[in-house]
Amino acid sequence: MRYLVALLVLSALSCVAQVEAAEVKGTSRIDAVTVFPSGAEVTRVGKVRLEGGDNVILFTDLPARAIHSSIRVEAKATGSLEIGSVDSRRTFLPRADDAIAASERKHVEDAIEKLKDDRAVLETAVQAAEMQKALIGNLAQLPTHPAPLGGAAVPQPDWGQLLGLIGERLAEAQKVVLDAQIKVRTVDRQIKDLEGKLASLAPAQEERTEVKVFVNAGASLEAEVSIRYQIGGASWVPYYDARLTSGSKAQAPKLQLARRASIQQRTGESWDEVVLALSTARPGAGTAAPELQPMTIDYEPDGAPARPTPVGGTSRSLSREATTLANKLGEVDEESKPHLRAGAEPQQAEERFAKIETQAFQAVYAIAGRVSVPATGEAKRVQIDEAQLDPALAVRAVPKRDQKAFLYAKVTMARGTPILPGQVSLFRDGTFVGNGRLPLLSPGEEHELGFGVDDAVRVRHAVAEDKRAESGLITSSKTDTRSYRITVKNLHERAIPVTIIDQIPVAQNADIKIELLGKSAPTRRDMDDKRGLLAWDMDVKPDEEKVVEFGYRVTWPAAKKITYGQGS
C-alpha cells in the first residue's frame, strides 16, 4: 500500500513538472518606429531559443510609458510555435551599472576604508597620550609622599627642575591629544561625505514594462519575437521649401515644392539606426464624434431674472485637431559636400526621398535608410519628397495700406497625398525672401503663395476727393463723398495679371446709405466673403499703365453722427 501511494505521488509530481512552463529571459532592441503627429508605434525584436513544450518568454526592457492595451506580439520560428497569451505589467528593476560607475564606487569604498584606518591610528595616539598624561600626573605627586620610616636618608632630587620637566611633558602630551582630536573630526567629515556619495552611486530602481509571452514549441527551436506598442512623447511636423524660378518672356516659370519633416521624441529610449516611417494617422485624437444633448426652449417663469440667449447653439464644441505645428524650423543643412577626386567631373548631389504609401484613411512616408533619433527632444529633420509644379504668376496690391506690388504663384497641388499644415520657406530665383504657411490642402486643390515685393510693377494711390455736405429742408441729411485714383504700371518684359484690392464702408444701420461711385467698376465685390471688399482684376501689358478710379458716397440723417470703424 505504501509503495502504491509513493508511486502516485511521484506520478503527480512528474505531471506538475511537465505542466509548469520553462521561463526564458529575452532581450530586445528597437528595430522600427512609426511616428504619428502625436505619439509613436515602436517595434522591438528579440531572438530566443526554446525547448519543446510550454515556455514563458520574459521581456523586461520595454519602457514604463508603453501603452499596455496597444502591446501586440508576433513571432517567426524555425519550427512549430504557437502563441497562447500575452501578459504585461509595470515593474521596478535595478538600473544596470556600467564599468565606470562600478569602478567609481570601488574607489569611494577604498577611500572610506583608508580614512577609517587613519581614524583608528589617531584614536590610538590619543589613548597613548592620555596614558602618558596619567603617568606624568603620578610623578607630580612624588614631593608630597613622606620619607620611609627607619630607613636611611634618601637624597632628594631637585624638585623645581623635576616639576618643570613634568610640566613640559604634560603640555606636549596635551597638544598631541588636541591635534589628534582635530584630525579625527576632519576624518569623520570626510567619511560622512564619501558615504553620501557612495549612496548616490548605489544601483537605482528603474520603472519598466514587463511582458510575458506564453508559447508552445513543437520541438527545440529558435524564434524571433516582435513586440509592437504605442508610446507618447513623440511627434512630427511637416515643413516645406518652395523654390520659384520666375522664368522670362520665353521661358515658363517653375516651382519646386520640397516636403520635409521634423521629428522629436522624449520617450525615454533612444531610437538608434531604426527603420523610420511617418504616418498622418492620429491614434490619440478620439475614436468617435461627440454627442449633442437636446436643446429646449420654454417660457421664462414669472419673476425670474433674465437669462442670456445662447448664440450659435450649445457651448459644447466639436473636437479639434490637437497637433501643434513647430515654428521657425531651419532649413536642412546642405553645406556638407563630398571631396572630389583630382580631375573628376563634379556631380550634383541627389537627395533621397521617402517611399510614400497612400491608404484609404492615412498616408505613410517610409524614410529612406536607417535613422537615429535621440531621446533628448532634439529635432531630427528628414526629407520626404519633392514635386515640380507649373505656377501661374500674378501680382496683388492693396495700395490703400501699402503702395507695393507683391508677386504670387498660383499652383495646383500634385496628386497623391494631402499637404499637411506647416511652415514654408520661400525662395525666389535662388534668394530666400521669407517664411509663410501652408494650410491643409487636398491633392488637386489650388493655392497661392506670396513671394515678396515685385519692384517691376509700380502702384500709386491718391485721394481725388474728400468732402462732406448737407442737403434737404425738412428732413435734412448729410453726405460724405470720397474718391480715389489708383495707377498700375508694368515694367516687366511680359504681360502679367494684376489684382487691385480696396474697400468701401459697410453700413451697420438701415438709415445709413452707401453708394459706390467711379468710372472703374470692380470685377469682384465682397471678395472672399468679406463685406465691402472690392477687387479689380486686369492684365497689364509691358510698359502699360492702367488707372482705377472709384469712390463712395455715404448718406445719413443730419441729426445723427457717424463714425468709421476699422479699415476706414
Give tens-digit pLDDT for 29-82: 999 999 999 999 999 999 999 999 999 999 998 999 999 999 999 999 999 999
Nearest to 425 by CA among 255, 238, 243, 237: 243
% of the chain with per-residue pLDDT over 90: 49
**Total number of residues shown for the chain:** 568
Whole-number pLDDT of residue 303 = 63
pLDDT band at 485; cut points 50, 70, 90: very high
- Supply the DSSP string of 207-273, one letter for each residue: EEEEEEEEEEESSSEEEEEEEEEEESSEEEEEEEEEEEE---SSS--EEEEEEEEEEEE-SSS-EEE
The verdict on pTM exceeding 0.75 is no
In b/e form, how buried is each residue of 180-206, taking b as 16+ CB within 10 angstroms?
Answer: beebbeebeebbeebeeeeeebeeeee
Half-sphere exposure of 444 (CA within 13 A, CB side): 2
Residues with Cβ < 8 Å from 7, sequence gap 6 or more? none
Instruction: Give the confidence band of 161 by pLDDT, cuts at 50, 70, 90.
Output: low
| In the predicted structure, residue 188 carries a pLDDT above the cut 50 | yes
pLDDT by residue (tens digit) across 345-399? 666 555 566 666 655 567 888 998 899 999 999 999 999 988 999 999 999 999 9
Higher-confidence position of 255 and 415: 255
The count of other CB atoms within 10 Å of the CB of residue 160 is 9
Give the cell for residue 56: 514563458
203: which 3 cell numbers? 544601483
- Write the pLDDT tens digit of every residue in 433-465: 999 999 999 889 999 999 999 999 999 999 999
pLDDT in tens, 287-338: 788 888 888 888 778 765 555 554 444 433 333 333 343 344 344 344 444 4
